[in-house]
Structure 1
Amino acid sequence: MGRGAAVTAGRRTAPGGDDAFHRAWRAGLTTEQVLDEIWELRAGDHDYADGTVFNSICSEPLDPARQVFAEHLAANMGDHRIFPSLPRATALVTRMLGDLLGAPDAGGVPTSGATEANLLAVLAAVRRHTGSGRPRVLLARNAHFSFEKIVALLPVEPVWVPLDDRYRAEPAAYRRALATRPALAVLTTGTSECGAVDAVDTLAPYAASHGVPVHIDGATGGFLVPFARELGHPLPGTGLTTEGVVSVSVDPHKYGGAPIPSGHLLVRDPAWLAPLRSASHYRGAADHFGLLGTRSGAALLATYAVLRRQGRAGYRADAAEVFRLRDRTLELLARAGLRSAFPPELMVVGVACPDPEAVQAEMERRGFIVSVSRRFGFVRLVVHLHQTERQLARLVDELADAVREVAP
């Protein structure tokens, strides 16, 4: 897709100019004219397949998810009497995702993504809290910024834990913080910033010994970590089989091939969802367990479709390819004389350089989308299945040139 849509005074101009836009709004347009306008609006967008996008954990949805999503937009998650397929699909998607994470009998709630799933996990803990004062939530400094939204929305007191030198929750500090008896402890398997995987296998059982339930934010690593060990990457598990883990958020729209928005909250014991129940005002209407009411079931059905198409074997093959492309990226960086900011655990590769923000700006001038970790100060590259080895080689060549270009 081409780039360079017009921008005036800090905002995009309306297609055809403001006056023409408002005239058309009053009168309406033909479908063909509207579709033309959409292409005009998207003229500045990048295409995942064009070899310029290296910052995104999401990608194009796989077939048949695209087809199913388009064909079932009218299915309403808020009305199970009209669409009884949706609770059935919920149960089946929950079963497949639960099996991926080691617990096919898990309970689950479809969500718009991990931000909503994480909020539901914290909300369930808040409503289960029986102590005095605001319940505490234990968070490492690598937690996704969705938790900053959550602690601002809910009546909780965050307890922040520092990180080790690989951007994971520092185990000794985490254990000490558990003495504050939080209502919930959060760990991450695949931070979006660094791809770091917290020590779930040791910290969750330790939390359990203190009576503290653990929620895992597995949005980024949910489709990668389950295969890591069998692919030769000795990472901690992200599953519901680990002692102390009561819930996991997972995003099928990240490495799962599902369309946005597709998230899921999984719970080891379906009874853990009870505090989230909101009764409907209408006889025969289903109670709600998520935050959203009326919304399309198209994403859920598309998620079902892609899970069935891929199967565990397909996702294992995809995970193997992500790890292969990541290792190839590291080889290319070393050959170009660029230094990794940390030993990567999943799909995020950090590049150390003196002025990462200037490098990002130079890369965007060259047409490439990379990102910079504001907190940790490195150029962040995300390896994904929409990339090829040739595209990665071109990226590294351009990145090496950009680093030299902005060097003092």
Structure 2
Amino acid sequence: MTTPPTSSPCPTGPRPAEARTSGAALPEQGLPADRVLADLAELCADDHDYDDGTVFNSICSTPLPIAERVFAAHQHANLGDNRIFPSLARAEAEVTAMLAELMDGPGASGVATSGGTEANLLAVLAALRRHQRCFGTGGPARILLGDSAHFSFDKIAALLPVEVVRVPSDERLRVDTARLLPLITPDTALVVATAGSSESGAVDDVPAIAGHAAALGVPVHVDAATGGFLVPLARDLGEPLPAIGLSVPGVTSVTLDPHKYGGAPIPAGHVLFRDEEDPAALRTASHYRGTFDHHALLGTRPGGALLATWAALRAQGRGGYRVAVAGLWERRELLVRLLTEAGFEIAPRPELTVVTVRHPAPEKLVDELERQGLIASVARRLGLLRLVVHWHQDDRQLRRLVQALAEADGGRP
């Protein structure tokens, strides 16, 4: 006789008691503000502060002070209602223009988003609709991208009728261009290049990819959520990085994340389009007279984050970001030197701000760091220790990190 399963693979009942959050019931009577704030302090007691020298795994950081001020003052602003907040349509257009200048694409169209995942989704949706106009709607549209591409594309593949084909990486952890280019055919819906892998910081050869795709009439989307505020400025400083923006023939759209190295608060993303037909293809008609049609995924959209992005871009300027990137590169080189002197193997040489280390037991290193209150990470698909350099760190903190790593490594069996 077959033994029945002990639990259903698709549970429909309440969550187990041990998984419930204690004290989370909505109180019948409101609590005093000082009690709520005290409970909040207790709730957040284990959170880390970017500025305390313990965070080495994040490509986000504390927003610029002016961005924090603007965000706090405009939390009520809704980008989905242009009649109440007419400033936001202008701010979106001006942020688009500033980001387009950064991406060498004056005149580009753009949509403010909640971050890179939504921006990538919109870029794929625009490409899908372009593909459907040209080739009809039979079967899923094929999208090519590297193994190093962000996992947001796994989510996108679950939401849209697309077939994602992943191409292996080369020894520098970029997409292997020699293996990618032969796969591009005229009926390919989209090719995605990554300008700053979130796992390793690797930057794909965008000009080679886009040039080949353009010859076949295939659009190329650049996911520069990590590298958008790094690569152009590093190129200004003479770093040997490829062009990634809309000046590259064949690049049709670019994702940026101002809430990473742009100094904006979360959530702040953006997608740029070279061709006005692409954002037009994203249009969803509003049901209300006088309210603009929507081009993003979200309906109610955080206008405060957009205004804070606008403020951060204007307060920093290209020169301010260039200075920030120069400082990041100096700290990155210090971290690489300290790790090498401590006997760790850097693999491969970092292109941006992510430093990866080859080690037989990276998980044990990260666990030991966490016991000391330091947060690092493991790039699981690569099997590498992953350390991120950001502007919330200083030299002393980087030295402390490497010392803690060396001590953890010394205790390895």
User: TM-score if structure 2 supplies the norm length?
Assistant: 0.93
Structure 1: 5+ residue runs without aligned partners? 1-8
1:48 and 2:50 correspond? yes
- Give the Å deviation of 1:165: 0.6
Q: Quick one: which of 312, 316, 319 aligns to 1:310? A: 316
On the 8 A contact 2:186/2:218 being kept in 1, the answer is: no
SS of alignment partner, residue 380 of structure 1: strand
1:13 shift after superposition: 5.8
Rounded Cα–Cα distance in structure 2 between residues aligned with 1:107 and 1:180: 25
Q: What residue number does 1:231 align with?
A: 237
SS at match of 2:305: helix
Query: By how many angstroms is 1:201 displaced?
Result: 1.5
SS at match of 2:184: helix
In 1, are the aligned partners of 2:97 and 2:107 still within 8 Å (CA)? yes
Q: Distance in 2 between matches of 1:66 and 1:167?
A: 35
Gaps in structure 2 of 5+ consecutive residues: 1-16
| 1:110, distance to aligned residue in structure 2 (A) | 0.3
Aligned-partner residue type, residue 374 of structure 1: R
Number of the residue aligned with 1:91? 93
Q: In structure 2, what is the Cα distance between the partners aligned to 1:175 and 1:118?
A: 21
- Match of 1:3? none
Q: Say yes or no: does 1:324 pair with 2:303.
A: no
Matches within 5 A, 1:372-383: 372-383=378-389
How far 1:358 sits from its partner (Å)? 1.2
Aligned counterparts of 2:99 and 2:186: Cα–Cα separation in 1: 33
Cα distance in 1 between the residues matched to 2:88 and 2:238: 38
Judge conservation of contact 2:78–2:85 (CA < 8 Å) in 1: yes
2:82 pairs with 1:80: yes
Q: Structure 1 CA distance, aligned partners of 2:329 and 2:20?
A: 38
Count of residues paired in the alignment: 394
**Given the alignment of the two structures, is residue 188 of structure 1 paired with residue 190 of structure 2, yes or no?**
no
The 3-state SS of whatever aligns with 1:25 is coil
Partner of 1:4: none
- Quick one: which amino acid aligns to residue 105 of structure 2? A
Q: Tell me which of 360, 363, 375 is aligned to 2:366.
A: 360
Q: Would you say the 8 A contact 2:112–2:270 is kept in 1?
A: yes
Instruction: Name which of 271, 275, 286 aligns with 1:280.
Output: 286
For residues 269-292 of structure 1, give each alpha carbon's deviation from its aligned partner in whole angstroms, at most 9, with x where no partner exists: 223211100010111110000000
Q: Is the 8 A contact 2:130 2:278 kept in 1?
A: no
Residue 259 of structure 1 is matched in structure 2 by 265
Q: Within 2, Cα distance between the matches of 1:316 and 1:11?
A: 47
> CA separation in 2, counterparts of 1:153 and 1:103?
29
**Correspondences of 1:10-159 after superposition (within 5 Å):** 14=22, 18=23, 22=25, 25-129=27-131, 130-131=134-135, 132-159=138-165
Q: What code does the residue aligned with 1:113 have?
A: G
| CA deviations over 1:200-233 (Å, ceiling 9, x no partner) | 0111111100111000000000000002223232
Secondary structure of the 2:348 match is coil
State the distance in 2 between where 1:401 and 1:351 align: 16
Equivalent position SS for 2:65: coil
Deviates more, 1:179-188 or 1:143-152: 179-188
SS in 2 for 1:265: strand
- Name the aligned partner's letter for residue 49 of structure 2: D
Shift of 1:10: 6.9
Q: Matches of 1:319 and 1:222 in 2, distance apart?
A: 12
1:180 shift after superposition: 6.7
Contact kept, 8 Å, 2:378 with 2:384, in 1: the verdict is yes
178-187 or 81-90, which deviates more: 178-187
1:159 positional shift? 1.6
Which amino acid is 1:163 matched to? S
Q: CA deviation at 1:38?
A: 1.3
Distance 1:348 1:160 in 2: 22
Structure 2: how far apart are the matches of 1:368 and 1:356? 14
Separation (CA, whole Å) in 2 of partners of 1:11 and 1:67? 37
In 2: Cα distance, 1:404 partner to 1:379 partner: 16
Return the alpha-carbon distance in structure 2 between the equivalents of residues 60 and 275 of structure 1.
35
Residue equivalent to 1:221: 227
Q: Give 1:126 deviation, angstroms.
A: 1.0
CA distance in 2, matches of 1:311, 1:32: 40
- Residue 125 of structure 1 aligns with an amino acid whose one-letter code is A
SS for the counterpart of 2:301 is coil
Contact in 2 for aligned 1:161/1:177 (Cα 8 Å): no
Which residue type is aligned with residue 385 of structure 1?
Answer: W
Letter in 1 for 2:232: P
Q: Which amino acid aligns with 1:69?
A: F
Alpha-carbon distance between aligned partners in 2 of 1:225 and 1:12, rounded to the nearest angstrom: 44
Q: Partner amino acid for 1:116?
A: E
Q: Is the CA contact 2:143–2:163 (under 8 Å) kept in the aligned structure 1?
A: yes
- Structure 2 match to 1:202: 208
Structure 1 distance, partners of 2:306, 2:225, is 16
Question: Are residues 1:350 and 2:368 paired?
Answer: no
**2: CA distance between counterparts of 1:210 and 1:369?**
45
CA distance in 2, matches of 1:181, 1:206: 14
Measure how far apart 1:12 and its partner are. Answer: 8.5
SS in 1 for 2:364: helix
Is the deviation greater in 25-34 or in 59-68? 25-34
Match of 1:386 in 2: 392
Q: Is the 8 A contact 2:195 2:228 kept in 1?
A: yes
Identity of aligned residues (%): 58
Contact 1:138 1:161 in 2 (8 A): yes
